[in-house]
Amino acid sequence: MSASLLRRRLGAVFALATTGILLVGCSLDATAASPDASGVATSSSQSPAPSASESTSGGESTDAGSASGAAGTALALLATLPVKGPAPHTGYDRVGDFGEAWKDVDHNHCDTRDDVLARDLTDIAKEGSCQVETGVLHDPYTGKTIDFQRGVRTSLAVQIDHMVALSNAWATGAQQLTQQQRETLANDPVNLVAVDGPTNERKSDGDAATWLPPNKPFRCPYVAHQVSVKAAYHLWVTPAEHDAIARILDGCPSQVAYASTLAPTVGLG
């Protein structure tokens, strides 16, 4: 072989070796960083972002109905309530167990019905210091405006509803309360609201699983009151009731809970 031919073959081998080294280097760079859809390089070792159903912090799931909620919210309070089936209604007596309507449990010399009417109606006129004779109700259950006038035939147009029905309270723990505690529950303003009479009658003793206000914007405050009352009076929720309340509160997770000022006065903290 001539010297010139040997030099040409050695040059070709060197060129092939150099190309191989460059190709290997490109391959290593490609595994270290790859462009995302926007063209920005991202490391292949980066963990994927959690999906909506995965834990976002502290191992807590954000699935609908499973979040515990921020402190002070009805959703957080709901998470503290026991969940179990209803107790039998055996022996239930609305008046015997919860007292005559209406009492003066806050000792302001006005009965509870007049207290709630004075709180919830506008443009009220009273006879004396307590008795509400007329007023205007902006009904939270229906969204209607109702003119209230006290009278044998007219008073029922506006009724005072127990948001946690007393029958429901009896079946979810009130049997274990004292008579004084039950009567306080029945007259606690946190559990009471002035509403359209016929709508209240249709609700009857339904819980959140069987009845909700037709006026949807009021549903969050409504179930928040129910949760607050059940927590204040050491009641539980049934599984269906819990799930119905959770579905509502998932749509308003910042909805606050409400404090009862009366429950602590009868030994319930």
- The arithmetic mean of pLDDT across residues 6-28, rounded, is 40
**Is pLDDT above 80 for 46?**
no
Average pLDDT, the chain: 82
**Is pLDDT above 80 for 36?**
no
d(CA 76, CA 70): 6
Tell me what pLDDT residue 211 has: 98
**Is pLDDT above 90 for 9?**
no
Q: Which two tokens stand for residue 71?
A: 């402190």
The pLDDT tens digits for 158-200 are 999 999 999 999 999 999 999 999 999 999 999 999 999 999 9
pLDDT band at 269 (very low <50, low <70, confident <90, very high): confident
Record the pTM: 0.75
In order of 37, 56, 85, 147, the CA distances from 49 in angstroms are 16, 9, 39, 55
**Is pLDDT above 70 for 18?**
no
CA 183 to the chain's CA centroid: 26
**Is pLDDT above 70 for 210?**
yes
Tell me what pLDDT residue 13 has: 38
Q: Which two tokens stand for residue 165?
A: 């029905």
Q: Are strands 131-138 and 158-162 parallel, antiparallel or unpaired?
A: unpaired
**In the block, residue with structure tokens 């207290």:** 115
pLDDT band at 71 (very low <50, low <70, confident <90, very high): very high
The residue among 264 and 3 whose pLDDT is bigger is 264
Tell me what pLDDT residue 132 has: 98
d(CA 166, CA 184): 12
- The arithmetic mean of pLDDT across residues 13-31, rounded, is 37
Tell me what pLDDT residue 67 has: 56
Length of the chain measured in residues:
269
pLDDT band at 55 (very low <50, low <70, confident <90, very high): very low
The pLDDT tens digits for 93-136 are 999 999 999 999 999 999 999 999 999 999 999 999 999 999 99
